[in-house]
Amino acid sequence: MKETGIKSKTASLGELGLEQVACAYWNLSAPKLIEETIIRKQGILTDTGALACDTGAFTGRSPKDKYIVKDQQTEKNVWWGEVNSPFSSSDFDTLYHRVTAYLAGKEIFIRDAYACASPEYA
């Protein structure tokens, strides 16, 4: 597997079951991502220099399509309802194996990021 970009010393695709991908692009800069998008004909630069991509028919997110594995850890700590739908561990395992099999031999892009205002909870 080829890997390029800025990768954390502790990051491992093998631990995630992704050791069969063709190439992993780690934390590419915005200019490099734009370049890759244009090379792959997945977007164009507008006359103002902005990147424009056609996302097709599915342009937004669906807040009702959020699933969380319901187990001993999450059962009493997640606000279950319309927005947070429970997902079984066995269904997760099935989906995980389908995704890792699909990604085998493909190029993937990885961004190490977190969503949280406080570093304590990142």
CA–CA dist 5, 65 (Å, integer): 32
Range of 79's domain? Answer: 2-52+63-111
Residue 117 belongs to a domain: no
Residue 67: count of CB within 10 angstroms of its CB? 14
DSSP letter, residue 74: T
Q: Which is nearest to 29 in space by CA: 6, 2, 52, 53?
A: 6
Mean pLDDT of 41-55: 95
Q: Report whether 68 contacts 77 (CB < 8 A).
A: no
Here the CATH number for the domain that contains residue 99 is 3.40.449.10
Checking if the pLDDT of 39 tops 90, the result is: yes
> Mind listing the pLDDT tens digit for each residue in 74-86?
999 999 988 899 9
Q: Report whether 37 contacts 25 (CB < 8 A).
A: no
Overall domain count for the chain: 1
Residue 120 belongs to a domain: no
Residue 99 belongs to a domain: yes
> Mind listing the pLDDT tens digit for each residue in 16-26?
999 999 999 99
Residue 122 belongs to a domain: no
